[in-house]
Chains A and B, each alone.
Chain A
Amino acid sequence: MDDMPTQADWRRWLDDHAPKFLLYARQQTRCEADAQDVVQEALAEAVERHGKELCPPPAMVFATIRRRAIDLARSQTRRAGRELATAEGAETCWFDISAEDRERARLIQNAMNRLSENYREVITLKIWGELTFAEIGEALTIPANTAASRYRYALVEMRKLTKEVLA
């Protein structure tokens, strides 16, 4: 496709991918405002690096979100960290929920929060980010095989944590 994306193309791309990016950013940052800022900055950087002619690959955006989130975490002072932790009283729901799924969503979100960070990010990128193991490996700078085995261990862990409710 040689044509530059139109506004409508960008909008569709954004509708498809922004929820995934924000979900991942929420797990990588300490508060909702940070997550939104990181998504915005990462998207701007990915578009600039990839060029305006094509939509950036989601794997690149995920990798940029991760790097920006690490930068941000290192830059925040301990005082700011305490303030953020206090401000996190109202927890943001990560998923779109209908009435019957509300309990399931809450359970999965809790389980995700209890997973180790390595497992959580692989699960998120694979299930909701819809990346291949090769792309996950690229985003996390690990071999694809490591991403695959991490994913399997993470699924086992998740199943343990949600055993009572899910199949």
Chain B
Amino acid sequence: MNDEELFEAELKRLKPARPPEELMGRLADVLGQTSLQTASLRRSRVLEARPQVGATKARFNWLRWLVPGTALVGAACLVAMVLSRDVTSTAKPGGNAGEKSTASHLKADDVQIDRRLVASFDALARLPDGAPLRVRCRQWADKVVVVDSGTGVVIEQTQPRLEVVPVNFEVY
């Protein structure tokens, strides 16, 4: 064994640290799913939106705003639905007094918003001038939970969301 081999052996004695159990669980989820489309992978945190990557891709930038915008609109609609139900129940003529009382007291005191990564994949598109454009697609499931602890009412809504981000070809 020469010096180089001895040194290599020294390095090989060290073993890479085992990943945290939380990550191992996430990876097992990835491998254990029968289809990535249905995999439910909880992200440890929310990644920042990616910046613009080139002038030719600028036209696709609106997509990144469309997607979170849709989620916000969905959440707003949900809250509006809860509020309008409250108003119509209260204003209904001849309504049961008990119902009226319950509806008028429906107030959301806890709203939880959760984002789950469902799938992540790359796709190739062509611009009108024929230039290729690679995009990274992430499918998210946005869940909104509205809780009125006073009346015990819990409203849950889950909405799919597609995040599309152009990626530079130079990366490859």
Residues of chain B within 8 A of A93, CB atoms compared? 17
- Among the stretches A42-50, A113-121, A131-139, the one at the interface with B is A42-50
Q: How many A-B residue pairs have CB under 8 A?
A: 129
Q: Which of B142-169 touch A at CB < 8 Å? A: 165, 167-168
Contact pick for A67, options B3, B26, B32, B171, CB 8 Å? B171
Q: Which of B42-69 touch A at CB < 8 Å? A: 43-45, 47-48, 50-51, 53
With A44-B41, A75-B51, A155-B4: A11-B28 Cβ-Cβ less than 8 Å: yes
Q: Hey, what's the 0/1 contact readout for A63-102 against B, CB within 8 Å counting as 1?
A: 0000100111011110010000000000011111100010
Is A19's CB under 8 angstroms from B120's CB? no
B92 close to A (CB within 8 Å): no
- Among the stretches B6-14, B78-86, B125-133, the one at the interface with A is B6-14
Contact pick for B30, options A43, A97, A123, CB 8 Å? A43
A67 to B122, CA, bound (A): 12
| Total A residues in contact with B, Cβ cutoff 8 Å | 50
Q: Which of B10-43 touch A at CB < 8 Å? A: 10-20, 23-24, 26-28, 30-32, 34, 36, 39, 41, 43
Contact pick for B14, options A74, A92, A96, A167, CB 8 Å? A96
Is B17's CB under 8 angstroms from A18's CB? no
Residues of chain A within 8 A of B32, CB atoms compared? 7, 10
Q: Which of A14, A75, A76, A101 has the most CB of B within 10 A?
A: A75
A52 to B32, CA, bound (A): 10
Contact pick for B8, options A47, A70, A108, A127, CB 8 Å? A127
Q: Report the nearest B residue to A101, measured CB to CB.
A: B14
With A22-B23, A101-B13: A40-B30 Cβ-Cβ less than 8 Å: yes
Is B27's CB under 8 angstroms from A39's CB? yes
A77 to B53, CA, bound (A): 12
Q: How far is the CB of A85 from chain B (nearest CB, A)?
A: 15
Q: Report the nearest B residue to A7, measured CB to CB.
A: B32
Residues of chain A within 8 A of B20, CB atoms compared? 36
Interface residue ranges, B against A (CB under 8 Å): 3-4, 6-8, 10-20, 23-24, 26-28, 30-32, 34, 36, 39, 41, 43-45, 47-48, 50-51, 53, 119-122, 136, 165, 167-168, 171-172
Can you offer 7 A-B residue contacts whose CB atoms are under 8 A?
Answer: A23-B16, A39-B27, A41-B120, A44-B36, A152-B4, A167-B7, A167-B10
